[in-house]
């Protein structure tokens, strides 16, 4: 009967961690200024009062977000609000862009990663990234996955490392017979999983994903979402996505970003995913989520 | 707003005719080029094909046209091309890599860039004069293969740099980002990912450069390549001559037989050129196949 | 304003719910009327019309499901649709209770009334007031009004108790009145259940606006 199903749904709705295999305890998230203190999961990545400039243009204003460890945190918001800029601060990919300047703190395991003595290669080894359009190297599947470990001087047999990474990316069975073939022979969804395997091969602690499914068809997208949930057991995942249903399906925590009048991006709300999508606190979040704006 | 049927038909006919006319023009232009080239080749072949023989290739020049051969010039050309490539390719590729991947985008880099582009258009005889002053006199290399090769290297360097830069630029930025994201340093990214991916384009540039170099006569004459050389170079410091010069020498003799020799020499020159290009194209296709799968 | 089609559909679904509430209100009023005037035809009509109420509920439910499947509603839109789904269930049950009253009216039509009906119509009146009030609170998204309406349930409960005791007295004094008294107790019970259902609707209004369920009808017993 629909009543019973509804009543069951009612019990599910207030509980956080939509989409996780084991439901977790209720989390309350008090807000301080534009930032959030999450009381339960430990924060692995943190931005404190982050301001980002490209030359004179301010791209991010006073963003403070704590990313809990071994959970999936989604960052949503309309186009141009600075989501990609924000996520790329965590592995210092913005350094490659001319005119980039960051003020405030970005912390990884409670240590600032923008200090002078920090080795940016080390940061990128521990915080991996998967991009919007699958970008495998123009080499064989094997070479793609082996490149990271090889240049970082990993010990152990490269074959094993490659196989393990491809297993973890749920790609091994599909490519084990053609591992020396060029990566471009794979489909879009497979290429993206290859990129994930490439990121996993160097054993990061965090995986940043910048709209990883936006160039893929729905079936490939769902496969990658399943993969994300698997990976979240061992890795901290931060995903930027335009697709709100995906954010709702996949993530435990959601940060909502908006562009202010001067086009600087701000974080307007952060909380447990099911809270954000059933009962958001900020009216702008509500408007964005229900499609009344943006 | 719709278009009346007859108006539409008329416009469609005009469009189709214009398209057809344009295609015909393009085909005509192509045919023209091909036909002219064909005529040239046929002329040369008819004059010189009989003369090409193993003796011809293996003999030294002589006063008697029947005995004259192209051995010295052929070997000279091969030596020059080889040493030119050895100098020009690494330096050119290195410069291109620096300009594209390492140099900061400031006024100095722009000045360098503009200069390189200009150098590509400088007449080759100027390079000859430069080579004469620097390599032959100042470095005291005399009229050796080395001096000639260095001069030619300077000549083709801008071509290689520009082509290599284009090839490097054509590598999508997503590959650079991907390499950085797995923790590669800049040099690792450049040498393990960008350069291999750009190699087909670089090889194209090298083909272009060497094809240009093989036919250049003026600079080599200026630095003093000999006209009558009864020996092949044994080392980079030996004197030399090259195919274009030998051919030029023969064409300036009145005897008909020497004209034949010249035609035969041209055929040999073209054959060398073709072989070089084929090797480079083969290599390029090999690399492209690896990159594309 | 984007999503105009969705807006329209969302409003339509809420309109349907209000229409259904109107049908239920009519049924309750008529039921008491049939009881008081011993009008057999009216009672029959009410019983037939209950099918329409049920159908309306399933229609509304279908539309809600369609909205959920095709529009992926979130946040307050989602709570609105879930609320509509729940409220139509309550309304349908209320319709069944009204039908029950009509059936009792049929059964009592042959005999003279046991006593003048005062409390029972009063219960119905309060119940109807509460029903219409709760739907206005829904329309206006007014949680304060919803809470106030819940307090009125106490009045209905008190009336029920009164009716019960009174009828009990009748039954003790004269066993021949037992049948009629029992039917009347059932009638009062139906009306008390209707008022309870309205408090469910009020809880839904608060859920819709504030995003959480608050138990409003804690029994004093």
Of the candidates A135, A138, A152, the beta carbon closest to that of B177 is on A135
Q: Are A292 and C79 an interchain contact pair (Cβ–Cβ within 8 Å)? A: no
Report the predicted TM-score, pTM, of the whole model to 2 decimal places: 0.79
pLDDT of residue A16: 33
pLDDT of residue B191: 92
Cα distances from B276 to residues B83, B97, B103, B270, in angstroms, run 14, 25, 33, 10
Q: For C207, name the nearest residue in chain A, comparing CA atoms only.
A: A279
User: Is residue A88 within 8 Å of A210, Cβ to Cβ?
Assistant: yes
Instruction: Determine what percent of chain C is predicted with pLDDT higher than 90.
Output: 81
- The pLDDT confidence band at residue C218, using thresholds 50, 70 and 90, is low
Q: Are B181 and A131 an interchain contact pair (Cβ–Cβ within 8 Å)? A: yes
Mean of the per-residue pLDDT values for chain B?
87
Select from A102, A8, A106, A121 the least CA-distant residue to A58.
A102
pLDDT in tens, B141-150: 778 888 889 9
Select from C70, C44, C48, C90 the least CA-distant residue to C217.
C90
Q: Are A6 and C212 an interchain contact pair (Cβ–Cβ within 8 Å)? A: no
pLDDT of residue C219: 59
- With touching defined as 3 or more inter-chain CB pairs under 8 Å, the answer for chains C and A is yes
The position carrying tokens 């879930």 is C82
pLDDT of residue A40: 44
- What stretches in chain A show pLDDT beneath 70? 1-41, 294
Give the CA-trace dihedral at B208, B212, B215, B218, to 10 degrees.
-170
pLDDT in tens, B66-90: 777 788 888 888 888 889 999 999 9
pLDDT of residue B51: 78
Cα distances from A115 to residues A48, A104, A122, A256, C111, in angstroms, run 14, 11, 13, 28, 94
- Alpha-carbon gap: A126 to the closest alpha carbon of chain B (Å): 9
> Which residues of A fall below an 8 Å CB-CB distance to C?
2-3, 6, 9-10, 14, 244-245, 248, 277-280, 285-286, 289-293
Of the candidates C74, C86, C213, the beta carbon closest to that of A289 is on C74
Query: How many whole angstroms separate alpha carbon C60 and alpha carbon C56?
Result: 6
- Alpha-carbon gap: B186 to the closest alpha carbon of chain A (Å): 10
Residue A111 belongs to what H/E stretch? strand A111-112
Q: Which of A47-56, B243-252, C166-175 has the lowest mean pLDDT?
A: B243-252
Q: Are A202 and B182 an interchain contact pair (Cβ–Cβ within 8 Å)? A: yes
Q: In what order do the strands lie in the sheet with A43-54?
A: A111-112, A100-108, A43-54, A57-68, A265-272, A253-259, A72-76, A236-240, A206-210, A127-130
- Mean pLDDT across the stretch C65-75? 90
Cα distances from A3 to residues A9, C88, C96, in angstroms, run 10, 10, 16
pLDDT in tens, A5-34: 444 444 433 333 333 333 333 333 333 333
Q: Are A290 and C76 an interchain contact pair (Cβ–Cβ within 8 Å)? A: yes
Query: How many whole angstroms separate alpha carbon B223 and alpha carbon B142?
Result: 8
- The pLDDT confidence band at residue C5, using thresholds 50, 70 and 90, is confident
Q: Where are the domains of chain C?
A: 4-210
- With touching defined as 3 or more inter-chain CB pairs under 8 Å, the answer for chains C and B is no
User: Is residue B209 within 8 Å of B154, Cβ to Cβ?
Assistant: no
pLDDT of residue A193: 94
- The pLDDT confidence band at residue C214, using thresholds 50, 70 and 90, is confident
Q: Are C82 and A9 an interchain contact pair (Cβ–Cβ within 8 Å)? A: yes
- With touching defined as 3 or more inter-chain CB pairs under 8 Å, the answer for chains A and B is yes
Helix axes C178-210, C119-140, angle to 10 degrees: 10
Cβ neighbors of B225 (< 8 A, separation 6 or more) are B76, B143, B148, B239, B240, B241, B242, B245
pLDDT of residue B60: 78
Other beta carbons within 10 Å of B246: 31
- Alpha-carbon gap: A10 to the closest alpha carbon of chain C (Å): 9
Query: Residue B202 has which token pair?
Result: 């670089």
pLDDT in tens, C103-158: 999 999 988 888 889 999 999 999 999 999 999 999 999 999 999 999 899 999 99
Q: Are C75 and A2 an interchain contact pair (Cβ–Cβ within 8 Å)? A: no
pLDDT of residue A27: 35
pLDDT of residue A20: 34
Q: Are A6 and C86 an interchain contact pair (Cβ–Cβ within 8 Å)? A: yes
User: Is residue B216 within 8 Å of B155, Cβ to Cβ?
Assistant: yes
Confirm or reject contact between C85 and chain A (CB < 8 A). Answer: yes
CATH superfamily label, C4-210: Phosphate transport system protein phou homolog 2; domain 2 (1.20.58.220)
Query: How many whole angstroms separate alpha carbon A146 and alpha carbon A161?
Result: 8
Mean of the per-residue pLDDT values for chain C?
92
- Contacts with A182 from chain B: Cβ below 8 Å: 290-293
- Mean pLDDT across the stretch B33-43? 91
Q: Are A131 and B174 an interchain contact pair (Cβ–Cβ within 8 Å)? A: yes
Q: Are A182 and B292 an interchain contact pair (Cβ–Cβ within 8 Å)? A: yes
pLDDT higher than threshold 80 for residue C24:
yes
pLDDT of residue A28: 35
Q: Which residue has the higher pLDDT, B290 or B179?
A: B179
DSSP letter for each residue of B81-107:
HHHHHHHHHHHHHHHHHIIIIIS-SSH
Cβ neighbors of C39 (< 8 A, separation 6 or more) are C33, C105, C109
- Contacts with C75 from chain A: Cβ below 8 Å: 277-280, 285-286, 289-290
Q: Are A135 and B175 an interchain contact pair (Cβ–Cβ within 8 Å)? A: yes
Residue A17 belongs to what H/E stretch? none
Query: How many whole angstroms separate alpha carbon A249 and alpha carbon B32?
Result: 65
pLDDT of residue C1: 52
- Alpha-carbon gap: C3 to the closest alpha carbon of chain A (Å): 7
The position carrying tokens 């010189």 is B48
CATH number of A29-289: 3.40.50.300
Burial of B186: CB neighbours in 10 Å, binned 0-12, 13-18, 19+ = middle
Q: Where are the domains of chain A?
A: 29-289
Of the candidates A96, A148, A184, the beta carbon closest to that of B292 is on A184
């Amino acid at each position: 009967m629909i009543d019973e199903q509804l009543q069951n749904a009612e019990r599910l709705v207030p509980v956080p961690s939509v989409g996780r295999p084991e439901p977790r305890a209720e989390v309350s998230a008090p807000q301080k200024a534009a930032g959030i203190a999450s009381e339960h999961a430990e924060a692995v990545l943190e931005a404190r009062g982050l301001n980002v400039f490209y030359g004179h243009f301010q791209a991010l204003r006073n963003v403070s977000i704590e990313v809990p460890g071994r959970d999936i945190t989604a960052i949503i918001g309309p186009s141009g609000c600075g989501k990609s800029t924000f996520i790329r601060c965590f592995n210092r990919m913005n350094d490659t862009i001319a005119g980039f300047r960051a003020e405030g703190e970005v912390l990884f395991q409670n240590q600032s990663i923008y200090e002078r003595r920090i080795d940016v290669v080390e940061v990128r080894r521990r915080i991996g990234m998967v991009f919007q359009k699958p970008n495998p190297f123009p080499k064989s599947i094997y070479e793609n996955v082996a490149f990271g470990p090889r240049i970082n001087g990993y010990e152990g047999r490269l074959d094993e490392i490659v196989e393990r990474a491809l297993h973890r990316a749920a790609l091994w069975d599909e490519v084990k017979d053609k591992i020396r073939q060029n990566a471009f022979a794979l489909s879009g969804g497979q290429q993206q999983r290859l990129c994930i395997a490439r990121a996993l091969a160097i054993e990061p602690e965090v995986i940043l994903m910048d709209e990883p499914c936006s160039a893929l068809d729905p079936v490939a997208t769902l496969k990658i979402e399943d993969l994300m949930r698997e990976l979240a057991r061992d890795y901290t995942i931060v995903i930027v996505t335009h697709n709100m249903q995906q954010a709702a399906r996949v993530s435990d925590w959601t940060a909502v970003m908006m562009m202010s009048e001067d086009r600087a991006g701000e974080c307007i709300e952060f909380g447990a995913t099911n809270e954000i999508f059933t009962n958001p606190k900020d009216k702008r979040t509500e408007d964005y989520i229900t499609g009344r704006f943006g | 707003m719709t278009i009346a049927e007859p108006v539409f038909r008329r416009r469609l006919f005009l469009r189709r005719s214009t398209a057809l006319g344009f295609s015909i023009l393009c085909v005509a232009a192509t045919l023209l080029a091909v036909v002219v080239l064909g005529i040239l080749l046929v002329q040369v072949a008819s004059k010189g094909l009989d003369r090409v023989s193993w003796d011809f290739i293996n003999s030294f020049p002589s006063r008697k046209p029947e005995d004259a051969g192209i051995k010295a010039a052929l070997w000279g050309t091969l030596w020059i091309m080889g040493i030119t490539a050895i100098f020009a390719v690494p330096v050119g590729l290195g410069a291109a890599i620096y300009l594209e991947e390492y140099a900061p985008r400031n006024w100095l880099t722009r000045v360098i860039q503009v200069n390189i582009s200009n150098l590509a258009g400088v007449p080759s005889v100027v390079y000859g004069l430069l080579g004469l002053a620097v390599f032959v006199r100042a470095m005291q290399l005399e009229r050796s293969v080395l001096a000639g090769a260095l001069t030619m290297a300077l000549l083709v360097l801008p071509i290689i740099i520009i082509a290599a830069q284009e090839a490097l630029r054509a590598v999508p930025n997503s590959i650079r980002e991907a390499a950085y994201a797995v923790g590669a340093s800049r040099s690792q990214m450049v040498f393990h990912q960008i350069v291999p991916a750009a190699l087909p384009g670089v090889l194209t540039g090298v083909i272009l450069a060497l094809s240009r170099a093989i036919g250049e006569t003026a600079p080599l004459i200026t630095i003093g390549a000999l006209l009558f050389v009864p020996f092949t170079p044994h080392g980079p410091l030996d004197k030399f001559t090259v195919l274009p010069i030998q051919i030029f020498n023969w064409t300036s003799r009145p005897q008909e037989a020497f004209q034949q020799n010249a035609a035969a020499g041209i055929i040999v020159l073209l054959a060398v050129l073709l072989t070089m290009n084929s090797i480079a194209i083969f290599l390029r296709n090999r690399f492209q196949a690896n990159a594309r799968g | 304003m984007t999503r105009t089609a969705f807006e329209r559909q969302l409003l339509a679904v809420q309109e349907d719910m209000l229409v259904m509430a109107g049908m239920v209100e009519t049924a309750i009023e008529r039921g008491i009327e049939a009881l008081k005037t011993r009008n057999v035809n009216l009672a029959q009509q009410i019983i037939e019309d209950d099918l329409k109420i049920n159908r309306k509920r399933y229609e509304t439910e279908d539309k809600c499901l369609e909205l959920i499947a095709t529009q992926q509603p979130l946040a307050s839109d989602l709570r609105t649709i879930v609320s509509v789904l729940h409220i139509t269930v309550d309304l349908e049950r209320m319709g069944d209770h009204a039908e029950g009253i009509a059936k009792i009216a049929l059964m009592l039509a042959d005999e003279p009334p046991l006593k003048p009906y005062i409390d029972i119509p009063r219960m119905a009146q309060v119940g109807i007031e509460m029903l219409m009030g709760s739907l206005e609170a829904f329309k206006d998204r007014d949680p304060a009004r919803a809470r106030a309406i819940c307090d009125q349930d106490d009045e209905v409960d008190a009336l029920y108790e009164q009716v019960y005791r009174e009828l009990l007295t009748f039954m003790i004094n004269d066993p021949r009145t037992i049948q009629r008294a029992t039917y009347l107790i059932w009638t009062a019970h139906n009306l008390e259940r209707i008022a309870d259902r309205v408090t469910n609707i009020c809880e839904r209004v608060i859920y819709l606006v504030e995003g959480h369920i608050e138990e409003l009808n804690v029994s004093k017993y």
